[in-house]
Amino acid sequence: ETVMTQSPATLSVSPGERVTLSCRASQSVSSNFAWYQQKPGQAPRLLIYSASTRATGIPARFSGSGSGTEFTLTISSLQSEDFAVYYCQQYHNWPQTFGQGTKLEI
Amino acid sequence: QVQLVQSGAEVKKPGSSVKVSCRASGGTFSNYVISWLRQAPGQGLEWMGSIIPIFNTANYAQKFQGRVTITADESTSTAYMELTSLRSEDTAMYFCASNSNYFDYWGQGTLVTVSS
């Protein structure tokens, strides 16, 4: 199966900063790639699909890029509500697989 | 907007089975694909399987083949996930979600605890 590797595992940041999270696939997933945000005690929330398309209601400060095996999620100016765990997912190769997550903390 | 509401938390003995439900509203159930995923404590997300209610056909992750059964009842717009031969490693939050590629709508999660 396709292994998704996220880096870093934890990122200490401050409100207002620009942040870039990375995800690497063990084989090409084309642009069949998504990002999710998960806060404690909640279900994940879809942020980005097709590598760069924001889901409904997602603020413009979230942007995704990449294709093939390298992907990034950029948050242009961190807000307090953005401190959470972020997961990447590929849905190009069966079975769909997720990364282990990057935790944004203050 | 699709809403998915799951059944409540369960505590099960090793070797037993659990069946979790996911009731959908806000759309046409037959048009959905409903997937089940799980998340062990402090861990990432793992896809278990998906079902297309209109065809009542499911496909499963190889890891769970033979232990998981996903079904759907169109009359009540409800999907079910049954996991058998439970072991301690199955202790996790179980989520249903719509779509079979990326997951745009999620249930609130059902905690299944397996303990003797």
> Tell me: the pLDDT tens digits for B34-91?
999 999 999 999 999 999 988 888 999 999 999 999 999 999 999 999 999 999 999 9
Interface touch B102/A87, C-beta < 8 Å? no
Question: Residue B55 has what pLDDT?
Answer: 87
Query: Counting every residue, how long is chain A?
Result: 106
Asked whether the CA dihedral A50, A89, B100, A91 is positive or negative, the reply is: positive
Tally: H helices and E strands in chain A: 0, 11
Task: Look at phi and psi of residue B54 and say left if phi exceeds 0, alpha if psi is from -120 to 50, else beta.
Answer: alpha
Tally C-beta pairs within 8 A across A and B.
45
Query: What's the start-to-end Cα distance of chain A, in Å?
Result: 34
Interface touch A43/B106, C-beta < 8 Å? yes
Strand duo B10-12 + A102-105: pairing: unpaired
Question: Residue B33 has what pLDDT?
Answer: 93
Residues 60-79 (A) with a CB less than 8 A from some CB of B: none
Interface touch B106/A44, C-beta < 8 Å? yes
> What's the pLDDT tens digit per position in A43-101?
999 999 999 999 999 999 999 999 999 999 999 999 999 999 999 999 999 999 999 99
What letters, b where the CB count within 10 A reaches 16 and e where it falls short, cover A9-18? eeeeeeeeee
Angle at B50 between CA B44 and CA A53, to 5 degrees: 65
Nearest CA among A25, A20, A18, A30 for reference residue A4: A25
Token code pair at residue B18: 């659990």
Question: Residue B56 has what pLDDT?
Answer: 84
